[in-house]
Amino acid sequence: MEAGGVRKEKEGEASEMVSYLGAIDQGTTSTRFIVYDTDAKVVASHQLEFTQIYPQAGWVEHDPMEILDTVRKSMEGAIAKGKEAGLDILGNLKGIGITNQRETTIIWSKSTGKPYYNAVVWMDSRTSSICRRLEKQHPEGGRQFVGTCGLPIHPYFSATKILWLMENVPEVKKGVESGDALFGTIDTWLIWNLTGGVNSENPIHVTDCTNAARTMLMELTTLQWHEPTLQALGIPSSILPKIISNVELIGKISEDWPLAGVQLAGCLGDQHSATLGQQCKTGEAKCTYGTGCFIVLNTGEQIVPSNHGLLTTVSYKLGPDAPTNYALEGSIAIGGAAVQWLRDNLGIIKSSSEIESLARTVDNTGGVYFVPAFSGLFAPWWRDDARGVLVGITRYTNKAHIARATLESMCYQVREVLTSMKADAGSIEANVGGEFLLKVDGGATVNNLLMQLQADLLGSPVVRPIDIETTALGAAYAAGIAVGVWTMEQIVEQGAVQATPTTFHSQITDDEREKRCLSWNKAVERSFGLAELDF
């Protein structure tokens, strides 16, 4: 790839004969627009960060209008880079896929197009009291809706965020009662606006089945909103979008956007998109290391309930008539965000990339363990009363030990999830045969020390592809299938001939691994119940 995020066309290659696919990758801290050629190689990309809003402890918000602005500018930036390289991206872009941060909740006015309130972000923990209330109201407590949607009652999911907005923002309550309010996760908000929004006679209000699966409101077997759940929670179906598959012709981008007329042709939540991008077959697992860490095991067409603190969800559905692939997922709230915390809050490093070199200056953490439960712990603990702890500090401790403990915190959490995952899906894993390995992707995987620590603490191989941004790639794959540029068979063949990935193997003994993990779990226990100290 050329400098500046652009790969030039081959000499003599006619521009008009080229086909491109685009991907909008709207993440927790940044937005990217990436353009791929038919070999699934990046030809142009542009990325922008946006504001993180923290009104109080445990609360996280985004400005939905700023997110739209970053989408627009990312498109413009990628087009400009392509033009500099002599590429006609707009003229040859066949379709665009969307992938997005999940669970983040927006309610807006369909008459004005403006949000009633900031987006309440997936990691936000303000709905803890609503969750406790719901647990008391239902006979099965926190697992009341697990049999239907695969998810426990928890602040993570969109349903409780909808309830908070309805109960605490008067404009939302009024909008819901008058029929003016629309709910959506980020995918829905983007599609509604990209296809005309308030200026359209027939605005497109849809979500895909992977994002819908994260609301607590969708029935896994039917992939439709579950009316008894809606009634039990008091959420009107009138505010909800239509649920579609991941590979469909959704609509064309409206005239007031840089890529006007281009077909939106695919949509997946970010972790599901990465699963597709990694081409995870039944029994294969991937972990994306981003703001959080997210481990997904494709369970094929089988819905596998979890008895070990995991989530049962949709993996992907590649067309309206295609079979649904399901998954077990373990979600970790704070992964790379802990590195950002070291940079922005403590000033231990000046850039995220510095953490590897700093952590390498020591051979171990010096007995320090870091549990980054900034807004509680997700899988497999599900403790929204947990808060971050740094334990084992002595006069010997320095910033390098803390940096290394921060990297290890990601690896320990991933290990705990995979331990639960193997227990829940042992039969599926056995059907695949061979040694279990973890496919990895996401920005943090460029850190070789992090990957080696992960292999050490898992005791099994960690495989990193050449293209680590498989989240965006999965969205491009979905769009390419929808518009007929690729078939799934061609995508699999394409992946088979790509350059050899990097594989990390464990370099520590089983005894050392178990000893360190035992100490980590003691540190986790210290984090429980600390939320009551919030002020």
pLDDT at residue 8 is higher than 80: no
Segment 156-178 shows an average pLDDT of 96
pLDDT at residue 432 is higher than 90: no
Q: Tell me the residue type at 457.
A: L
Mean pLDDT in the chain? 90
Please name which of 377, 378, 408, 416 lies closest in space to residue 392, comparing C-alpha atoms. Answer: 408
3-state secondary structure of 487: coil
Residue 428 has what pLDDT? 63
Residue 429 has what pLDDT? 58
Q: Tell me the residue type at 125.
A: S
309-363 pLDDT, tens digit per residue, is 899 999 999 999 999 999 999 989 899 999 999 999 999 999 989 999 999 999 9
Q: Taking a C-beta distance cutoff of 8 angstroms, is the pair 356, 449 a contact?
A: yes
Which tokens sit at 450?
């992090």
Other CB atoms within a 10 A radius of the CB of residue 323 amount to 10
pLDDT at residue 15 is higher than 50: no
Q: Taking a C-beta distance cutoff of 8 angstroms, is the pair 143, 312 a contact?
A: no
- Of the spans 68-72, 340-344, 434-438, which averages the highest pLDDT? 68-72
86-119 pLDDT, tens digit per residue, is 999 988 999 999 999 999 999 999 999 999 999 9
Residue 471 and residue 273: Cα distance in Å, rounded? 5
The stretches of 24-150 forming alpha helices (DSSP H) are 64-84, 89-92, 128-137, 146-149
Residue 498 has what pLDDT? 59
Please name which of 468, 464, 463, 451 lies closest in space to residue 507, comparing C-alpha atoms. Answer: 451
- pTM confidence score: 0.88
161-170 pLDDT, tens digit per residue, is 999 999 999 9
The DSSP call for residue 343 is: I
pLDDT at residue 75 is higher than 70: yes
CB contact set of 33 (below 8 Å; sequence gap of 6+) = 22, 23, 24, 25, 45, 46, 71, 74, 75, 77, 78
Cα separation of the two ends of the chain: 49
Which tokens sit at 245?
């598959």
Which tokens sit at 84?
């500099």
Determine phi and psi for 45, rounding to 5 degrees: -155, 155
496-519 pLDDT, tens digit per residue, is 545 678 999 999 999 999 999 999
Q: How open is the CA angle 12-13-19, to the nearest 5 degrees?
A: 170
pLDDT at residue 192 is higher than 90: yes
Please name which of 74, 6, 11 lies closest in space to residue 42, comparing C-alpha atoms. Answer: 6
Residue 467 has what pLDDT? 83
The beta-carbon contacts of 127-130 under 8 Å, at least 24 apart in sequence, are 127/155, 127/160, 127/161, 127/163, 127/164, 128/58, 128/155, 128/376, 128/384, 128/385, 128/531, 130/155, 130/160, 130/163, 130/164, 130/167
Which tokens sit at 191?
């599609």
3-state secondary structure of 105: strand
Residue 427 has what pLDDT? 61
Q: What region, left, alpha or beta, does residue 434 occupy, with left being phi > 0 and alpha being psi -120 to 50 degrees?
A: left
Percent of the chain with pLDDT over 90: 75
Residue 499 has what pLDDT? 62
Structural domains of the chain sorted by starting position, each given as residue range(s) with its CATH number in brackets: 15-268 (3.30.420.40)
3-state secondary structure of 108: strand
Determine phi and psi for 61, rounding to 5 degrees: -135, 160
Residue 382 has what pLDDT? 86
Segment 461-484 shows an average pLDDT of 91
Residue 402 has what pLDDT? 96
Q: How open is the CA angle 342-118-273, to the nearest 5 degrees?
A: 70
Q: Could you tell me how many helices (H) and strands (E) the chain has, helices first?
A: 18, 23
Which tokens sit at 140?
């099965």
Torsion angle of C-alpha atoms 444, 445, 448, 449, degrees rounded to 10? 50
Segment 131-146 shows an average pLDDT of 91
Sheet holding 263-269, edge to edge: 42-49, 30-36, 20-26, 93-100, 263-269, 251-252
Residue 134 has what pLDDT? 95
272-300 pLDDT, tens digit per residue, is 999 998 888 888 889 999 888 999 999 99
Residue 209 and residue 267: Cα distance in Å, rounded? 9
Lowest mean pLDDT among 157-161, 391-395, 426-430: 426-430
**DSSP 3-state percent helix, strand, coil across the chain (nearest 5):** 40, 20, 40
Torsion angle of C-alpha atoms 315, 223, 305, 297, degrees rounded to 10? 0
Lowest mean pLDDT among 226-230, 341-345, 423-427: 423-427
Residue 309 has what pLDDT? 86
